[in-house]
Amino acid sequence: MKERVPRFAIIGAGMSGIMAAIKLRDAGLTDFTIYEKAERLGGTWRENTYPGIACDVPSHLYSYSFAPNPDWSHHFAGGAEIQAYFEDVAREFEVDHLIRFGDEVMRCEFTAERWQLETRSGRRDEADFVIGATGVLHHPRFPDIAGLDDFEGDLFHSARWNHDVSLDGKRVGVIGTGSSAVQIVSDVIDRVGSLSLFQRTAQWIMHQDNPAYTAEERAQFHQDPEHMSQLRAQISQLFADNFANAIVDADSPQMKLIEELCRNNLETKVVDPALRARLRPDYRAACKRLVVSPDFYEAIQKPNAKLVTESMEGIEPHGIRTKDGQLHELDVLVLATGFRVDRFLRPMEVIGRGGLRLETAWAERPAAYLAVSIPEFPNLFLLNGPNGPVGNFSLIEVAELQFAYIMQLVDLVRSGRHTEVSASTEALKRFDASRVEAAKTTVWTTGCNSWYLDDRGVPAAWPWTFTKFREAMAEPDLEAYDLR
């Protein structure tokens, strides 16, 4: 059997796409192109530049295992620092010049054992394999509120922040109470004239300090890379044991501790009992994605802050009118309303074996075997695809494990043993059935509405421990694959 030298197309130059390119080079596979719809790499961290943005995964864990960063400024890095890290890594590993910026892939069709790609610029390409590294948190979700287009002040989504608009002394409104809103409120409260936070659902807030790394600590990281590697492994284990594995077992002692910490944070930090009552959720902590903050409760109690819990009637030229008839006058309105997390490869047109369209395959909801492979879409693999560990692990660690798994499938074609590899329909059905059953014991199904839930109310995220994810990614079960 003659070994094939395959060509790859990587779609997306965010965290996963950059990693995929570097790993392909490490494997001696140099025939690839990275397609990026934007003019810069970075994905989520390029798109989200709002004030106060930071990662809720520890810095040394939210780093590539092959590119540790001894110069993280804080235990939890800010968005600009993370963006700079990805840009530095792409340059250091010399993959930045392999990215076609501003050239969005519009169509992929599998014909004659190869993928045919078309981009917005009209470019056509062929590839043996497509790596979908399109990310999750980059299609903004806009709220369905009457009068959204009538507002005469400055209005923008948190993921499309308008840095030309000064907030100093302004009357600012923020719609939403997730991580973005909490970070924005804490960051801008001391410079705005007034801030109104429009809350539909209260959030549990986990207190999390974010100390800076000292010059001595950073010097040690430089001098002793092994120490930094050990720290990363230690953080990974602690993160898995005390959080990631806790939330997939709603009755675990660790989950109960998380709830106690959240309750104590609310009860001890918020002085006014009426405000405290309005900030207290009626569901269990971590049922929605847990929000971490060192100072949100302090910020929302500032004299110029107002928590609005009355339902919104609609948006008017000069502000938001709530159903009690009050007009909340605003100069700036920020929509911190999250993302459409079910897009993945879409809106790209993807056509698999026999003319099957991805929109048809995903007519009910997006699904992929082990979050990696879609039946009837051979030689197309996803990084951080549907039903993966999007909400409870470091997505960098997840993507690295997934890519190592994918490369074992690629090797089946490289070796000449097969020409097409995709998960079988039966394997996906079994995986989905077991995932739905396992989800019943997670905290995500204990009585809240969150972006984790699909159209059936079933959590779309990986419902098992990180250990089980590692085991699943260690080696493909070839019986689960349609090999041709």
Least confident range from 1-5, 73-77, 185-189: namely 1-5
CATH tag, 148-209+248-335: 3.50.50.60
Structure tokens at 205: 């807030």
Indicate where the chain has its CATH 3.50.50.60 domain(s).
8-139+340-483, 148-209+248-335
Question: In which band, very low, low, confident or very high, does the pLDDT at 2 lie, cut at 50, 70 and 90?
Answer: low
The percent of residues above 90 in pLDDT, for the chain, comes to 93
pLDDT at 224 over 60: yes
Q: Give the pTM.
A: 0.96
Predicted local distance difference test score (pLDDT) of residue 10: 98
Question: In which band, very low, low, confident or very high, does the pLDDT at 41 lie, cut at 50, 70 and 90?
Answer: very high
Residue with tokens 């000069």: 318
Segment 275-297, tens digit of pLDDT: 999 999 999 999 999 999 999 99
Q: How far apart are CA 472 and CA 421, in angstroms?
A: 17
Question: In which band, very low, low, confident or very high, does the pLDDT at 138 lie, cut at 50, 70 and 90?
Answer: confident
Q: Name the residue among 266, 333, 294 with its Cα closest to residue 56.
A: 294
Given a contact cutoff of 8 angstroms between Cβ atoms, the answer to whether 190 and 295 are in contact is: no
Q: Residue 130: beta bridge partners?
A: 9, 380
The CATH topology of domain 8-139+340-483 is FAD/NAD(P)-binding domain (3.50.50)
CA dihedral over 18, 19, 24, 26, signed as positive or negative = positive
Mean pLDDT value across the chain: 95
Q: Name the residue among 291, 383, 242, 392 with its Cα closest to residue 54.
A: 291
Predicted local distance difference test score (pLDDT) of residue 4: 72
- Is the peptide bond between 58 and the residue preceding it cis, with omega within 30 degrees of 0? no
Given a contact cutoff of 8 angstroms between Cβ atoms, the answer to whether 4 and 29 are in contact is: no
Q: Residue 212: beta bridge partners?
A: 74
Given a contact cutoff of 8 angstroms between Cβ atoms, the answer to whether 181 and 158 are in contact is: yes
CA angle 86–372–131, rounded 5-degree value:
50
Regarding beta strands 327-329 and 319-322, do their DSSP bridges make them parallel or antiparallel, or are they unpaired? antiparallel
Mean pLDDT value across residues 372-395:
92
Segment 392-433, tens digit of pLDDT: 689 999 999 999 999 999 999 999 999 999 999 999 999 999
Regarding beta strands 312-316 and 291-293, do their DSSP bridges make them parallel or antiparallel, or are they unpaired? unpaired
Q: How far apart are CA 191 and CA 304, in angstroms?
A: 10
Higher pLDDT among residues 301 and 139, named by residue? 301
Residue with tokens 């993945």: 344
Question: In which band, very low, low, confident or very high, does the pLDDT at 390 lie, cut at 50, 70 and 90?
Answer: confident
Given a contact cutoff of 8 angstroms between Cβ atoms, the answer to whether 245 and 239 are in contact is: no
Structure tokens at 267: 């009860």
pLDDT at 100 over 90: yes
Whole-angstrom Cα Rg for the chain: 23
Mean pLDDT value across residues 195-213:
97
Predicted local distance difference test score (pLDDT) of residue 247: 92
Residue with tokens 């509120």: 145
